[in-house]
Amino acid sequence: MSSNFLFFNFFYFLSVVSTLGYGFYINNLLVSKNVDLDYGTKGLIGIFILTLYSILSHFFISHNFIHNSILFLLGIILFIFFLKFNYQKKDFKIVCLVFIILLIAFFCFKTHDDFPYYHFPYTNYLTKSDLIIGVGNYDPSWRSPSSIFYFNSLFYLPIVKYYSYHIGALLIMGYSLSILCIKMFHRYNLKNFDQLFFYKLLSFTFILIFFYRLAEHGTDRSAQILSFILILEILYFFKKEQDLNKFFTKILIIGSLAISLKVFYLVYLILLIPIFQFIYVDKKKLCINELIKNKFFYLSILLLLLVTIVNFLNSGCLLYPLTASCFDSFSWSTSLIEVDRMRFHYENWAKSGAGPSFSLNNINENIAYFNWLPGWVERYFFNKVSDYLLGLLFMCIIFLIIFCSNKKNSNKKKLRLNFLYIILVFLFIEWFYNHPTLRYGGYSIIAILVFIPMSKFLSNYHIKKNLNVRIILILCLTISIFFYRNIDRLAREYKQYNYTPLKVTYYNVIENHHFRVEKEFSNIVDFYKDCTKKRIECKNQNKLIAYKKYGKFIFVKPSKFEIKQFNGKDILIKIN
């Protein structure tokens, strides 16, 4: 057993502690004393505030060893200090158990396909430099970064170094599962096996089984996991089991975090319609004041504003690749033609008109209306979507076999969810028409549409006999499948790559591939210092050239501009 293996385990649990420490602190600072939040939600608050800080701080400093070590240790200190004020024995045990279960997923050799392409390089850039304007000119993938890169960059620490750039997805998954477990066992203790109990049990099972492999999470599945929690909080509110202040606090944190992870989750703001409709029917007023008074309302706006500013400084677009939000008059701006080209490319890819080894010629014609549907069915529905639907169906059948009985419940209070369900159907239609790939929200929206009626159906049965055994059976089956799939994954990685976590521990990093962008950015800066600033004519072999303004480097394409020095200042000359 290597020292790296032991330290990696130690670092993993300290990361949970540090993040939760910030959650404790912000909860104590900003949340009303009469609002009692569980440990899972406090963990998400920790992620939320660290993500907000990470984006804001990068405007001025890099997230290097010293900066991150201080931040990391401060989180641990905050956890120790505030634990005595926040200690909840059951919550603590559940969070510990969840992260012990998830530990096996943290070990991997092969990462996500996009990880060496831009996830790792972008996160690594955040640790080596403060803000550079115009990095989106390097590659389209750098124009609209996920906030998870900023969060992950805070875990660039001594010894573990850059081998922790995948921890963000696991922390989001862990705290989300903790929320489901804590709420589920609370309902279990009350012997309240209603629709909410089964929704939580279904969601817990789904996330652990279908999202078992961390390497597949990328920037997409974390937001999908949060969408299960978001809908759960709405269901709780509709059942009148939490007040407005607590409800707004939770949905502001979860919703803004999900949008910052993947900007197209802005469409989920439509869920505000059934929420405010319910408030108006119940209280005869919209209660906007309660929302505005909530401190997280302003922090959520700040987070989304910072994400928008980063998009703009990277690409010249507020919401890349939405052409209407782009300004091509800035030196670093992506041209509107290029933005449109990439928008069509992304939509064509989502509609299975392009892949790693092929692309249809007439993209505009393919993505119009439902012209893409036959190709999507042939290339994507069969195998990908069909396998997913069969797995979901099999899971539901198992639940029906275990929990159905001959006795119907007659006194269960029913939730009126018609309007909410209509909105969810609309979100499914939007997903299917615009970006019908499972990674772009398909996993969660399909599962949620199934789980709401499924949980209602299961709650209609009166199960007295062996109920404890049935619940334990589902949980044991779920956890066993999760372990089996990860053990099988590790066995395959051992066979294919000779990966042994006890000895190798860390995921695979290829010097010339993972660090290529760092080297290229360094060359661009060196070219500026050695040639542009010294007014020496040099042959530029870099993709970009740099100039300085207001103390910040700005990267532009050499085909569009020349940089000259005049009286110690950079002069930008446009090439016609």
**Domain extents for the chain?**
3-348, 518-574
CA dihedral of 433, 438, 440, 442, whole degrees rounded to 10: 70
Q: What is the rounded distance in angstroms from the CA atom of residue 251 to the CA atom of residue 233?
A: 7
Q: What is the rounded distance in angstroms from the CA atom of residue 443 to the CA atom of residue 462?
A: 30
Q: Return the sign of the alpha-carbon dihedral for residues 162, 211, 204, 107.
A: negative
**186 CA to centre of own chain:** 27
Counting every residue written for the chain, the total comes to 576
**pTM, two decimal places:** 0.95
- Closest Cα partner for 85 from 24, 34, 134, 131? 24
Residue 558 backbone phi and psi in degrees, to 5: -65, -20
Using the 8-state DSSP alphabet, how is residue 535 labeled?
Answer: T
Per-residue pLDDT of the chain (576 residues; tens, 9 = 90+): 678 899 999 999 999 999 999 999 999 999 888 788 999 999 999 999 999 999 999 999 999 999 999 999 999 999 999 998 888 989 999 999 999 999 999 999 999 889 999 999 999 999 999 999 999 999 999 999 999 999 999 999 999 999 999 999 999 999 999 999 999 988 888 788 889 999 999 999 999 999 999 989 988 999 999 999 999 999 999 988 788 889 999 999 999 999 999 988 999 999 999 998 888 887 766 678 888 889 999 999 999 999 999 999 999 999 999 999 999 889 999 999 999 999 999 999 999 988 777 778 788 888 988 999 999 999 999 989 999 999 999 999 999 999 887 666 655 566 778 899 999 999 999 999 999 999 999 999 999 999 999 999 998 876 767 888 899 999 999 999 999 999 999 999 999 999 999 888 999 999 888 999 999 999 999 999 998 888 888 888 888 999 998 889 999 998 777 787 777 777 767 775
Q: What is the rounded distance in angstroms from the CA atom of residue 151 to the CA atom of residue 167?
A: 9
Angle at CA of residue 461, ends 455 and 466, nearest 5°: 105
Q: What is the rounded distance in angstroms from the CA atom of residue 434 to the CA atom of residue 454?
A: 27
DSSP code string of 300-320: HHHHHHHHHHHHHHHHSBSST
250 Cβ contact partners less than 8 Å away, ≥ 6 residues apart: 37, 41, 233, 242
